[in-house]
Amino acid sequence: MVKGGAGKFFSNFKDNLKDTLKDTSTKVMHQVATYTKGELDIAYITSRIIVMTYPAESVQIGYQNHVEDIRSFLDSRHADHYTVFNLSQRNYRGAKFSNRVSECNWPSRQAPGLHNLFAVCKNMHNWLKQNPKNVCVITCSDGRGPSGVLVCAMFCFCHLFSHPAPAMQLLSAKRPGSGLWPSHCRYIGYVCSMVSEKPNLPHSKPLVIKALTMSPVPCFNKQRSGCRPFCDVLIGETKIFTTAQEYERMREHRIQEGKVVFPLGVSVHGDVVFSVYHMRSTIGGRLQAKVSNTQIFQIQFHTGFIAPGTTMLKFN
């Protein structure tokens, strides 16, 4: 997908885009708690980029924002000049926001795909440059991780920053507790590379992942002596390979071994996710036992940024 969209999405990077975002000073931090009798979870990261949690349409536990309160707030402050970018996989009626809702459907437990991340940044930029009064409203399930990675990627897309770290620092100052993962940071870095003065665009060559090594052996079993791990390999959200077997056939690894090696031999291309789990079995007979898996770690990267000839990738 990245290669096919290169002509449209990965061009014209030398434009000066700094004017698309204004007032990254203290003036942009509007206080909204006094707006309604309840408290809205909504934050101005800049005067033109707003982040909020998912707006519920009924009384639901865990949702601070009601869709009617959010609509009233946006109509009173940004009438006809806002568009909503919904990153969650739960869609809501666009008519609530004058049909200005872009449904992005990002996965909640992964970083967004590179093509989708870049495309949303481009759409946001196009909306902002149409009118100096236009604002972007970003929403996801918790108003944290997915929203945070988009905000930081947008900072880099608009040349406010050339590295992920200062973009993440600004986000943290405006909206503490964003909860960005290392994979999020990696994808923000990809956007920085793609819009730099000398753009580094992703190549389309597939990779063969021969093996994954985990070191040291983590303690996830009840005895705190090791784990019974397996590895899933996904392209985007589609699982293409797993080392999981029946519980009785899964080997338990001990701390003393120092490492676990998962033989894979799988060809990958694009957005790749490696997710390692500890397999558990509940108390009960062989027929009654239920297996529950606990995630140990997850790594995500894009193969287009792995230099040809690379024989080993290391993640801390």
Catalytically active residues are 140
- Cα separation, 207 vs 250, in Å, equals 27
Edge-to-edge strands, sheet with 82-86: 42-46, 49-53, 135-140, 82-86, 101-103
d(CA 85, CA 52): 10
DSSP letter, residue 26: G
Contacts of 274 by beta carbon, 8 Å cutoff, 6+ apart = 212, 231, 232, 233, 234, 298, 299, 300
Distance between CA 49 and CA 151 in Å, rounded?
8
Q: Which residues contact 10 (CB under 8 A, 6 or more apart)?
A: 118, 194, 199, 201
DSSP string, 206-257: -EEEEEEEE-S----STTSSEE-EEEEEEETTEEEEE----GGGPPPEEGGG
In this structure, are strands 260-268 and 207-214 parallel, antiparallel, or unpaired? antiparallel
Token digits for 201? 């665009």
Cα radius of gyration (the chain):
22
Angle, helices 145-157 vs 182-194, to 10°: value is 20
Amino acid at 313: L
| 216: preceding bond cis by omega (within 30 degrees) | yes
Instruction: For residue 117, give the H/E element and its range.
Output: helix 114-130
